[in-house]
Amino acid sequence: MKTAIIINGHVRTWEKCKDNFIEAFGDLDADYFISVYDQQYGYAKYIQSIQEFYQDNILNVEDVKGLFSDLNVKEITVDDSNVMEQYKEEQRDKIKLVFNTEKHGPEIYESVFPQYYKLNNIKNKLLAYEDANQFKYDRIIKTRTELVYNVDVLKRSIKILNDGDMLIDAGNVPPNDVMFVTTRDNAVNVIEFMYNEFYNPVYPEQSVSWPPHSILNSALVHNGINTISRRLIKHVEREKLQQVY
């Protein structure tokens, strides 16, 4: 089964998590499509506060690419964090999803929109790679840099996953959006739906109920995808703490 793995977000604690990541996914012989920033951490204010960590680093683009040299990388994008800030402001008036800033915090749009913008962009590069090489992947895994996996549970769950289902982690607010495993077509449909939901929302009230989890839920409902939840993640490796959902 030909597998593509999308890694989307900030670099954060990748160097601490890489060995566990390779143990979890190394035997899949996957191709990698990576979308990160030159800004290392980019933590939301809430995450900064719970670990009392407020510093950040701007990384050299070539150094960032070197962090993933152990993987079979087909495409990697390292976005300029300042350019992304400008783009968020340019798009703000075009976004039709209305977020409850009183409930979720004033930065909710700033923290949610970029991840789906980047995810959709790297998905497009994956599709272009397929077209150029005249094949399609069977399975797509979407994940992040700072996760520490329950390796045995993850491998066993992937092995027995039915084609129509999506495997997600059982922690946090369901459905947990930190990673998923599913068929290529399911992944493409879900990623496209989540991005388009900002501009042409199908379920505006549902999507903003508890973003980003609720946006994933809207995509699953719309595409009729069943989820299988397992304890795939031990914890999120923050810079100053291990966050367990």
DSSP 134-145: T---SEEEEE-S
Most distant CA atoms of the chain, gap in Å: 49
Which domain does 143 fall in, by range? Answer: 3-236
Rounded Cα distance between 55 and 143, Å, is 24
Q: What is the pLDDT of residues 116-142, one digit of tens each?
A: 999 999 999 999 999 999 999 999 999
The backbone region for 71, taken as left when phi is positive above 0, alpha when psi lies in -120 to 50, beta otherwise, is beta
- Please check whether residue 39 lies inside any domain of the structure: yes
In a domain, 241, yes or no: no
Which CATH number does the domain housing residue 161 bear? 3.90.550
Residue 209 located in a structural domain: yes
CB neighbours of 118 closer than 8 A, spacing ≥ 6?
A: 8, 9, 35, 77, 79
Residues 36-79 pLDDT 10s: 999 999 998 889 999 999 999 999 999 999 999 999 999 999 99
Structural domain includes residue 163: yes
Residue 59 in any domain: the answer is yes
Q: Looking at the domain assignment, is residue 128 inside a domain?
A: yes
Say yes or no to pLDDT of 106 above 90: no
Phi and psi dihedrals of 57, rounded to 5? -135, 145
pLDDT, one tens digit per residue, over 148-193 is 999 999 999 999 999 889 999 999 889 999 999 999 999 999 999 9
Considering the domain boundaries, does residue 66 fall inside one? Answer: yes
The predicted structure's pLDDT at residue 173: 86
Work out how many domains the chain is built from and give that number. Answer: 1
Residue 245 lies in a domain: no
